[in-house]
Structure 1
Amino acid sequence: MTATQVDAGPRRVLALAVPALGVLAAEPLYVLVDTAVVGHLGAVPLAGLSLGGVLFTLVSSQLTFLSYGTTARTARLHGAGRRSEAVAEGVQATWLALAIGVILLVIGELLAGPVTRALAGDGPVAAAATGWLRIALLGAPLVLVTMAGNGWMRGVQDTVKPLRYVLAANVASAILCPILVYPVGWGLEGSAVANVVCQLVGAALFLRALTTEHVSLRPHAKTMVAQLKVGRDLVIRSLAFQVTGVAATSVAARTSAEAAAAHQVVLQLYGFLAMVLDSLAIAAQSLVGAALGSGDAPLAKQAARRITAYGLLLGTAVGVVFAALAGILPQAFTSDTGVLEQIPLAWWFFVVLQPIAGVVFALDGVFLGAGDAAYLRTTTVAAAFLGYLPLILLSLFFGWGLVGIWSGLSLMMLVRLVALLARQRYGNWAVVGATR
């Protein structure tokens, strides 16, 4: 283990976090561009993109263990000086990505229509969402391959190459999207095609990176089973996020097309900034995992404290910036008067949540790096189903709309904040060793 592998000073954290930020922000930034392009088609296409996008995220992001779980396992091996074994984790994660991605593609194509109609009713929003989703699902295996590639590269503390790969893919797609939507005339479906192109380019680059490493590319069932065991807790955790997210979007869609479109705009901004803040979590995963893999628990705890403080500072700064942009930025995403009137109902919740999110996401990274996924699973499920989901359902019953939905999200984040801070201070999470 070298000193730079576990140094949690500002320079080292920035060296890991800034390229990771580019990777994390690229997909939400593309979705923001997509939202801005589609938003000028009208409220119904934008609401369709909102619903279809949430469902696609539900399909793909349940497998976050392919990135976060792989980073945790890889970082410990890297910290122990076993790089070839660390990269081998990435090979097996990629095989898992391809296999699971094909299964999700088949199931998703069969259920796309019935699910969108169940969530939004049998109308134009559901029809628009179904058309977008059927095309976008073709990229599901490719998204998962990219997740696996990001996971093992972060674990060996290489965040620069993934940045290059993801930027190349997303820049090409951002150029293609408005061309397919408007001059070509494919409308909402054009944005889905551009999305698949982006995912194809990214997955190809990550696959090429694996072939340049001198490790076996054969599948190994034992390693994949071990990864699936880690993935179990992360899948349950992601499912809690996605169930509440889909429920919130469904309630917004049933409120009105304008409310659904406004929710899409603010939610995508929230997702984009979550990726900005999550860049510190990537640094935390790499540094905490390396420290524990090398057997140094005090150093892991020091890294955790520092990165949590950085998260609070970054979240506060982001909140101030977007408070100042409240009267300007929404107009970049839509010119629909009804949608613009709904956006402020969610905007100020989104702004106030940023400092809280900065701390929560940093601690997520700490505990993922430590392999403490079970605690994250339990606390996330409790916060989602005892805090967020009840307020979503009450919003549907009482007609609270976006105010109720975003109040629920705020409550969930507060519960998670308290639980994670308690774990950091009192919990036995810093378990040393090359594996856990």
Structure 2
Amino acid sequence: MVEAAPALTHRRVLKIALPIVLSNATVPILGAVDTGVVGQLGLAAPIGAVGIGAITITALYWILGFLRMGTTGLTSQAQGAGDSAEVAAMLSRALMIGVAAGVVLILLQAPLFWGAFRLSPASPEVETMARSYMRIRVWSAPAAISIYGLTGWLIALERTRAVLAIQLLMNGMNILLDLWFVLGLGWGVEGVATATFLAEWSGAAMGLWLCRDAFRGSAWKDWPRVFDRARLTHMMRVNTDILIRSLLLQAVFVSFLFFGADFGDVTLAANQILVQFLEITAYALDGFAFAAEALVGQALGARTRMSLRRGALLTSFWGLVCVIGLAIAFALFGGRIIDIMTTAPEVRTEARAYLVYMVAAPLLGLAAWMLDGVFIGATKTADMRNMMIVSFVIYGIAVAVLMPLCGNHGLWMALLISLVARGVTLALRYPALEASVDG
């Protein structure tokens, strides 16, 4: 299973990155179809129910998203070290964590859903429909969370076409079943949930099939290795660091939207639309950041400093090409994109007033996105956690200083400052990362 790695070239980077970019491009399409299908029912409540239900379930799954990143870093290092037994054992650990976490969500669904509706109250009709949606969706939690581990493992081995195949199967099946269950059979909100339930279990099954080479040997069920205390402790520490970092990052964006609400509904709506530009940037850069995770992790596992540096530089080069293209596209077509997202004249005007920040964001955020990939691949997650804490504090100070002076402009400046702070602080830790590699 572990073979000599090919030369580290631009072609290799693109071979890893482009399938991830294409995979990410399918995600917004699915959300649009889910909304559009229930929208054909001619009622507002089903649309709201699917929206609230999907956000709640996604948020619960997102908490377990560390499994994807941690699995990629640890598996890529085992791959680089030529340790095929550990590569297989990592897949077993990731799957066990995914299934166990999914079972816990199923068992705790009642209090979790109750808490979600206390945080985000809805009308009785919407809440009833949303609960029906979530009660179906939650039964695919073991599959959905396990997919994080499966995709992380595949990315570590540079098999991103397999990740694309899983995503295409899930989203394609989900869309077709949406149309059949909702418009054909009239199942309404429950039809949307059932379609996603079946798609997620099918995606997990396909993921297992694509990882079948790991199950041909006996290493995947070498239980003393799989449950080795030192390896499990290290995996737990890596995943905990990533979780803390991700929660702080999410806190930045959630607080950004909350702070924006103080400026009125129009500004809040404009900010929400412009945040989608950041989502587009993140989806586009994910491919190159994931490539950095795999290549840096393999180089660290092989204890080859020059390969680590070359992997970081090559992936960052293509990340730079990507963000330059995005900045130009946002500058030229940002206004048209805003017009597609909203028909409200006042929101369009307000969003255009802050479009310059969207042009700057990809360029200013490049280092943060790419160095995240580098540090995940190297599993230097304590550095990621600590630098995120520093960046979060800097963001808070920037908000406190700039918002009173510049209003919503100050809020956007604070968000961009937080991106720069993440990049700069991680860059300061990069020499120590290289120094940790022999050779």
Q: Same fold (TM over 0.5)?
A: yes
Higher relative contact order (CA 8 A, sep 6+): 1
Amino acid at match of 1:161: A
Structure 1 Cα separation of the partners of residues 53 and 435 of structure 2: 40
CA gap of 1:252–1:196, structure 2 versus 1, over 3 A, is farther
Structure 2 Cα separation of the partners of residues 126 and 254 of structure 1: 26
Tell me whether 270-279 or 259-268 shows the greater mean CA deviation: 259-268
Paired position in structure 1 for 2:90? 89
CA gap of 1:339–1:33, structure 2 versus 1, over 3 A, is farther
Paired position in structure 1 for 2:436? 431
Structure 2 Cα separation of the partners of residues 190 and 404 of structure 1: 44
- By how many angstroms is 1:332 displaced? 4.4
Paired position in structure 1 for 2:160? 159
The answer to whether the 8 A contact 1:88-1:215 is kept is no
Amino acid at match of 2:423: L
Paired position in structure 1 for 2:208? 207
Amino acid at match of 1:155: A
Paired position in structure 1 for 2:421? 415
CA gap of 1:251–1:196, structure 2 versus 1, over 3 A, is farther
Amino acid at match of 1:201: S
What SS does structure 1 have at the residue aligned with 2:335? coil
Structure 2 Cα separation of the partners of residues 197 and 343 of structure 1: 39
Deviations 1:370-420 (A, max 9, x none): 12111111112332354169749997x99967x666444322212112112
Structure 2 Cα separation of the partners of residues 304 and 109 of structure 1: 45
- By how many angstroms is 1:80 displaced? 1.8
5 Å matches for 1:332-371? 332-333=340-341, 335=343, 340=348, 343-344=351-352, 347-371=355-379
Choose from 284, 288, 294 the match for 1:280. Answer: 288
TM-score for the superposition, normalised by structure 2: 0.81
CA gap of 1:400–1:170, structure 2 versus 1, over 3 A, is farther
5 Å matches for 1:48-67? 53-67=54-68
Structure 2 Cα separation of the partners of residues 408 and 44 of structure 1: 36
- By how many angstroms is 1:3 displaced? 6.5
- By how many angstroms is 1:267 displaced? 3.6
- By how many angstroms is 1:263 displaced? 5.2
Amino acid at match of 2:327: G
The answer to whether the 8 A contact 1:292-1:300 is kept is yes
- By how many angstroms is 1:115 displaced? 3.0
Cα root mean square deviation, aligned: 3.9
- By how many angstroms is 1:73 displaced? 1.1
Amino acid at match of 1:281: A
Deviations 1:274-319 (A, max 9, x none): 1220111111111111112112112211221232222122111112
Deviations 1:75-101 (A, max 9, x none): 111112222421220111111011012
Amino acid at match of 1:363: L
CA gap of 1:224–1:260, structure 2 versus 1, over 3 A, is farther
Amino acid at match of 2:31: V
The answer to whether the 8 A contact 2:309-2:434 is kept is no
CA gap of 1:271–1:303, structure 2 versus 1, over 3 A, is same
What SS does structure 1 have at the residue aligned with 2:8? coil
The answer to whether the 8 A contact 1:83-1:156 is kept is no
TM-score for the superposition, normalised by structure 1: 0.81
Choose from 294, 297, 310 the match for 2:318. Answer: 310
What SS does structure 2 have at the residue aligned with 1:19? helix
Deviations 1:126-181 (A, max 9, x none): 84995465554444332211110011112222222221121111122234446656
What SS does structure 1 have at the residue aligned with 2:100? helix
CA gap of 1:229–1:249, structure 2 versus 1, over 3 A, is same
Structure 2 stretches lacking a partner, 5+ long: none
CA gap of 1:419–1:341, structure 2 versus 1, over 3 A, is same
Amino acid at match of 1:150: T
Tell me whether 163-172 or 103-112 shows the greater mean CA deviation: 103-112
CA gap of 1:406–1:290, structure 2 versus 1, over 3 A, is same
Q: How many matched pairs?
A: 428
Structure 2 Cα separation of the partners of residues 15 and 311 of structure 1: 14
- By how many angstroms is 1:53 displaced? 5.0
CA gap of 1:47–1:247, structure 2 versus 1, over 3 A, is farther
Structure 2 Cα separation of the partners of residues 198 and 322 of structure 1: 34
Paired position in structure 2 for 1:111? 112
CA gap of 1:179–1:333, structure 2 versus 1, over 3 A, is farther
Residue 232, structure 1, aligned to residue 240, structure 2 = yes
The answer to whether the 8 A contact 1:42-1:336 is kept is no
Tell me whether 183-192 or 62-71 shows the greater mean CA deviation: 183-192
Structure 2 Cα separation of the partners of residues 172 and 123 of structure 1: 31
The answer to whether the 8 A contact 1:177-1:191 is kept is yes
The answer to whether the 8 A contact 1:28-1:271 is kept is no
The answer to whether the 8 A contact 1:75-1:293 is kept is yes
Structure 2 Cα separation of the partners of residues 181 and 350 of structure 1: 37
Paired position in structure 2 for 1:21? 21
CA gap of 1:290–1:73, structure 2 versus 1, over 3 A, is same
Paired position in structure 2 for 1:148? 149
